[in-house]
């Protein structure tokens, strides 16, 4: 595996904070979004993402470049997310765009801003987030890793510690459920 992270991780293993910063800068955005979509809680997503990166820093010596760095990173994140969900007995909070605006977080809009468009986007975002949040944990992880992080079924199987055919089944079932819950928007 000849990816830039392999060299950077060698430096991180030696305690190089600049190298660690590079890793965080490269991966924090997709990681935070993955965790936020999984937990449904924007604030705890940053806390969990920080724990993921600190774990990377602590165990950098254990990283083997044979494994794709992103796969390794998301394996740690997935485990921490599952722990978080099991630790917090309460159901995760719904986060929609209006919540984020109120909390003062900027939201990246793909198109030019217009109030009507923003309202439609907010409603759609809330509906999709709610539909994702209602999926069983393992279906949620599998569909998020595929849909937003573009992992292959084989990579997802490594992250989740299951077979590729089990991943295929999880994604298939997740999409069937999402199709039903989002039918007004399809």
Partner 1 sequence: MNCDYCKNKLSAFIDNELSSKERFLMEEHLKACPSCAREVKTLHQLVVLFGGIPEEAPSPAFVQTTVNRAAVIPRHSFWNKLFLNPAISFVKSAVAFVFAPDGYGAASRKNLSSRGYLRSFDDSPPGSFADVYLSVIQGGGN
- Contacting positions for partner 1 (CB under 8 A): 15, 17, 20-21, 24-25, 28-29, 32-33, 36, 42, 45-46, 49-50, 53-54, 57-58, 97, 100, 105-110, 121, 124-125, 128-129, 146-148, 152-153, 168, 171-172, 175, 178-179, 182, 185-186
For residues 59 and 19, give the distance between their C-alpha atoms in angstroms, rounded to a whole number. 14
Size of the chain in residues: 186
* Closer by beta carbon to partner 1, 86 or else 156: 156
- Shortest separation between residue 7's beta carbon and partner 1, angstroms: 19
- Shortest separation between residue 28's beta carbon and partner 1, angstroms: 6
Residues 6+ positions from 144 with CB-CB distance below 8 Å = 34, 37, 38, 132
Tokens, residue 139: 């279906």
- Shortest separation between residue 89's beta carbon and partner 1, angstroms: 25
Burial annotation 75-92 (CB, 10 A radius, 16+ → b, else e): bbbbebbeebbeeeeeee
* Closer by beta carbon to partner 1, 28 or else 68: 28
């Amino acid at each position: 595996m000849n990816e830039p992270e392999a060299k950077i991780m060698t430096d991180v293993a030696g305690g190089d904070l600049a190298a660690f910063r590079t890793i965080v800068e490269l991966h924090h955005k997709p990681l935070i979004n993955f965790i936020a979509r999984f937990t449904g809680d924007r604030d705890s997503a940053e806390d969990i993402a920080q724990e993921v990166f600190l774990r990377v820093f602590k165990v950098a010596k254990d990283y083997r470049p044979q494994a794709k760095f992103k796969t390794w990173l998301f394996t740690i994140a997935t485990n921490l997310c599952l722990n978080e969900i099991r630790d917090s007995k309460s159901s995760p909070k719904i986060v929609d765009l209006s919540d984020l605006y109120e909390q003062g977080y900027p939201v990246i809009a793909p198109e030019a801003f217009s109030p009507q468009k923003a309202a439609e986007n907010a409603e759609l975002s809330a509906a999709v987030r709610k539909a994702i949040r209602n999926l069983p944990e393992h279906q949620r992880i599998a569909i998020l890793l595929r849909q937003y992080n573009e992992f292959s079924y084989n990579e997802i199987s490594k992250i989740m510690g299951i077979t590729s055919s089990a991943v295929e089944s999880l994604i298939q079932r997740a999409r069937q459920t999402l199709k039903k819950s989002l039918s007004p928007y399809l």
